[in-house]
Amino acid sequence: MKLMDTSSLILFFEHIPEYEFIITFSETGEIMVITPQVEEEYYIKSDPSKFNENYNLEKIINNEIIIKKDSKINSLFENRYFFLGKGEKSIMSLALKYKEQSLDYYCVLDDKDARKIAFKLGLNVKGSIGLLLILKEKGLIEKPKELIEKIRQSEFRISDKILEEFNA
């Protein structure tokens, strides 16, 4: 199960929508989950001019390709990690529940501080590029160099080091 934060949605729906990776993940049997907080953040942070009528978050949720699960934000995040975004806090709160239940999951977080906290809490973490690496390893990304160049030219903030590791 992939618990996705806002940044990965923005990458997949705004910066590289032509690849329709969310649908590809679903076709591989991956279960993707967001919270209402992530959905709210997405609509606040995203650029409506880049919305695609046929490939968009609302349609993906309605078709149950991404599942929306309620997650009460754990007080730990409200008190100690108040500086994190609502989406990050809700995803990590859900991950803590999944961890307690010994469920298989990954938090998909791109924010450096959020990732550090998630690791510190013993949560399983991947970034958006880590999700793309799963598809690459399954042979589902035909032109990885072209994809990396497209991401580089976008407004998505990611280090060259990570992109080069993906390209290796």
Residue with tokens 């032109």: 143
Tokens of 148: 């990396």
φ and ψ at residue 43, rounded to 5 degrees: -70, -25
Tokens of 11: 């990458």
- Tell the CATH topology of 2-167: Rossmann fold (3.40.50)
**Which runs of consecutive H residues, i.e. helices, occur in 28-159?**
36-45, 57-62, 75-79, 86-100, 112-120, 128-137, 144-153
Would you list the domain boundaries of the chain? Answer: 2-167
pLDDT in tens, 122-143: 999 999 999 999 999 999 998 8
pLDDT in tens, 14-65: 999 999 999 999 999 989 999 999 999 999 999 888 888 888 999 999 999 9
Please provide the distance, in angstroms rounded to a whole number, between the alpha carbons at the two ends of the chain: 26
Residue 115: predicted pLDDT: 95
What pTM value is reported for the model?
0.92
pLDDT in tens, 65-99: 999 999 899 998 989 999 999 999 999 999 999 99
